């Protein structure tokens, strides 16, 4: 092994305790037997062979951002960590990048910024919003990013992957290979350990504008119908991507629960202002002029960070725990549903007023130009993903049982919204609900699940790669219908 190996009973207790933590320090209460930090493909093969020969469990970890702790591992688990596999090579004409499985959004964006500045280029790769998320789990779970309406989902950027299978063999897979298809949305940790990705690099990413239009939450009923009708479809250009968010805004002009329409436009701020004019409702309340607006031009990474810059601005202490749940909609929400969202946000637990976020991620345009079965990411005919981030403080005595309160509020939020015509869920935001084990296959994969099961049976017949909400082989679950 070229990388570090830590064991539960080693002398390096402090190093082990740190290593067992996932993103933001979450442990999920897990104490895996071994944590194997792989620095190359030979380390991955050695770890897989060790696990197989000793009949242990295996969990694969890259950025550690699984919201159900799928990458943390149980007592008899070996965690195979690829976060140190950070090779990054761009081809000569900068149309492709080959990146190790441990490369994060922040590292990829930094390198692209460097090339843009030193070579006077306008390069772009599709990423999510958090710098510490790895390209691996993001890509294999579909990969929603703020520029996906223009360039496609993260999985649509993949040209080639290198993967180590359960028997220790190495394969390079491309379009046309069933395993490649399965990895394009079938989620990580199911079929093997991907060690390297070859990704598209887009040209001509000129000025990017970050914008936000912020109003008191009482304006939701007036603004949201326009948002879901025009901003989650093909009516607005693919270069425009707009989130609708509800959270506690804290600005020097005004503080309070808000509805915020914010996003990125691939173009100038003058063009952006014109495009979002139908979301501008000018009025004055108690001496405050609304909307509280911002339009700023800059490079992609700087502007992408703007989306979250003031969503947590009111916190004295960052939460050390997070629940996450979502629901994907094909159809518009009715006025009653919109009122339900507002009521839930107004009635979140007191400790969560400053930290919780409810938001919509818009689909449409290039995302929806791909058929449901072209990749394993099936949600190609959807309008938006409604997401709840419900935070808590597990170690703060001022907020006893905040984890239970946060979880209950999140579950109650979705229980109050009719879900008959919206049963789909984005697999990169896995559902922590108690009944999710019965519903996740249909919710994440719908009619693509049976095809994923066949691939699972072929490449991992002995089920080395097992985890919460895994792909089961055909013998263990039934074929699913076409989903909503």
pLDDT digits (tens, 9 = 90+) for 271-321: 999 999 999 999 999 999 999 999 999 989 888 888 877 676 556 666 777
| Of the candidates 22, 65, 61, the residue with the CA atom closest to the CA atom of residue 324 | 65
Listed in sequence order, the residues at least 6 apart from 282 whose beta carbon sits closer than 8 Å to its beta carbon are: 289, 290, 291
| Of the candidates 395, 425, 455, the residue with the CA atom closest to the CA atom of residue 25 | 395
Is pLDDT above 80 for 91? yes
State the Cα–Cα distance between residues 377 and 141, nearest whole angstrom.
7
Residue found by looking up tokens 């999140």 in the block: 410
- What values do phi and psi take at 417, rounded to 5? -95, 125
State the Cα–Cα distance between residues 6 and 364, nearest whole angstrom.
45
State the Cα–Cα distance between residues 360 and 246, nearest whole angstrom.
9
Q: Which residues of 463-483 are buried (b: 16+ CB within 10 A; e: fewer)?
A: ebbebbbbbbbeeeeeebeeb
Q: Which pLDDT score, from 0 to 100, does residue 7 have?
A: 81
Both structure tokens of 484: 């909503």
Listed in sequence order, the residues at least 6 apart from 41 whose beta carbon sits closer than 8 Å to its beta carbon are: 162, 164, 170, 195
pLDDT digits (tens, 9 = 90+) for 131-145: 888 999 999 999 999
State the burial class of residue 119 (Cβ atoms within 10 Å of its Cβ: 0-12, 13-18, 19+).
exposed
What sign does the CA torsion over 429, 434, 437, 441 have? Answer: negative
Coil vs helix vs strand at 291: coil
- When comparing pLDDT for 57 and 241, which is higher? 241
pLDDT digits (tens, 9 = 90+) for 199-254: 999 999 878 999 999 999 999 999 999 999 999 999 999 999 999 999 999 888 89
Q: Which pLDDT score, from 0 to 100, does residue 482 have?
A: 43
Listed in sequence order, the residues at least 6 apart from 329 whose beta carbon sits closer than 8 Å to its beta carbon are: 382, 383, 384, 385, 386, 421, 422
Residue found by looking up tokens 């190093």 in the block: 15
Q: Which pLDDT score, from 0 to 100, does residue 345 have?
A: 95
pLDDT digits (tens, 9 = 90+) for 13-38: 677 777 767 665 555 567 787 889 99
Q: Kindly tell me the number of DSSP H helices and DSSP E strands found in the chain.
A: 13, 18
State the Cα–Cα distance between residues 299 and 303, nearest whole angstrom.
6
What sign does the CA torsion over 136, 137, 142, 148 have? Answer: negative
Rg from Cα positions in the chain: 22
pLDDT digits (tens, 9 = 90+) for 330-361: 999 999 999 999 999 999 887 777 788 999 99
State the Cα–Cα distance between residues 177 and 190, nearest whole angstrom.
16
Coil vs helix vs strand at 221: helix
State the Cα–Cα distance between residues 53 and 48, nearest whole angstrom.
9
State the Cα–Cα distance between residues 116 and 201, nearest whole angstrom.
12
Q: Which pLDDT score, from 0 to 100, does residue 29 have?
A: 61
Cβ–Cβ under 8 Å, residues 222 and 244: no
Q: Which pLDDT score, from 0 to 100, does residue 325 have?
A: 95
| Angle, CA 349 vertex, CA 347 and CA 350 arms, to 5° | 100
Provide the edge-to-edge strand list for the sheet that holds 321-329.
292-298, 208-216, 255-265, 240-250, 357-362, 384-392, 321-329
Coil vs helix vs strand at 347: coil
Is pLDDT above 90 for 159? yes
- When comparing pLDDT for 70 and 403, which is higher? 403
Listed in sequence order, the residues at least 6 apart from 163 whose beta carbon sits closer than 8 Å to its beta carbon are: 170, 171, 172, 173, 179, 183, 191, 192, 193, 194, 195
State the Cα–Cα distance between residues 401 and 394, nearest whole angstrom.
7
| Of the candidates 446, 452, 453, the residue with the CA atom closest to the CA atom of residue 476 | 453
What sign does the CA torsion over 66, 72, 73, 78 have? Answer: positive
> Of the given ranges (159-168, 297-306, 407-416), which has the lowest mean pLDDT?
297-306
Both structure tokens of 120: 């006077």
- When comparing pLDDT for 8 and 239, which is higher? 239
């Amino acid at each position: 092994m070229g990388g570090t190996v830590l064991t539960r009973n080693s002398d390096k207790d402090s190093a082990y305790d740190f290593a067992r933590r996932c993103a933001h320090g979450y442990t999920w209460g897990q104490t895996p037997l071994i944590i194997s930090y792989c620095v190359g493909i030979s380390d991955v093969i050695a770890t897989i062979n060790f696990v197989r020969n000793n009949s242990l469990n295996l969990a694969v970890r890259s950025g550690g951002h699984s919201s159900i702790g799928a990458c943390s591992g149980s007592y008899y688990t070996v965690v195979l960590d690829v976060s140190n596999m950070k090779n990054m090579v761009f081809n000569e004409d900068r149309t492709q990048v080959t990146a190790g499985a441990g490369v994060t959004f922040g590292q990829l964006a930094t390198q692209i910024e460097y090339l843009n500045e030193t070579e006077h280029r306008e390069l772009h790769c599709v990423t999510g919003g958090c710098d510490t998320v790895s390209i691996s789990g993001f890509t294999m779970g579909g990969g929603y990013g703020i520029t996906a309406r223009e360039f496609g989902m993260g999985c649509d950027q993949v040209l080639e992957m290198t993967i180590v299978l359960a028997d220790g063999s190495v394969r390079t897979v491309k379009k046309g290979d069933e395993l490649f298809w399965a990895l394009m949305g079938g989620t990580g940790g199911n079929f093997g350990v991907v060690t390297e990705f070859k990704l598209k690099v887009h040209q001509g990413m000129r000025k990017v504008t970050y914008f936000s239009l912020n109003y008191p939450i009482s304006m939701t009923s007036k603004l949201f119908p326009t948002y879901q009708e025009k901003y989650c479809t093909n009516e607005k250009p693919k270069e425009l991507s707009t989130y609708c968010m509800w959270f506690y805004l804290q600005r020097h002009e005004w503080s309070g629960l808000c509805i915020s329409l914010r996003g990125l436009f691939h173009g100038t701020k003058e063009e952006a202002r014109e495009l979002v004019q139908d979301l501008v409702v000018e009025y004055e309340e108690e001496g405050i002029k609304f909307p509280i607006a911002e339009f700023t031009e800059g490079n992609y990474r700087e502007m992408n960070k703007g989306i979250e810059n003031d969503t947590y601005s009111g916190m004295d202490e960052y939460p050390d725990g997070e629940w996450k749940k979502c629901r994907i909609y094909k159809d518009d929400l009715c006025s009653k549903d919109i009122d339900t969202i507002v009521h839930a946000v107004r009635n979140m637990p007191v400790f969560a007023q400053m930290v919780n976020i409810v938001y919509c991620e818009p689909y449409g345009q290039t995302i929806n130009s791909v058929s449901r079965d072209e990749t394993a990411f099936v949600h190609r005919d959807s309008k938006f993903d409604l997401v709840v981030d419900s935070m808590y403080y597990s170690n703060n005595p001022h907020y006893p049982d905040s984890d239970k309160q946060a979880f209950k509020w999140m579950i109650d939020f979705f229980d109050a919204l009719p879900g008959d015509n919206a049963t789909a869920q984005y697999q990169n935001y896995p559902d922590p609900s108690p009944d999710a084990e019965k519903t996740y296959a249909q919710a994440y994969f719908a009619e693509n699940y049976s095809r994923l099961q066949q691939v699972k049976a072929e490449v991992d017949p002995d089920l080395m790669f097992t985890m919460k909400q895994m792909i089961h082989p055909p013998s263990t679950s039934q074929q699913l219908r076409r989903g909503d």
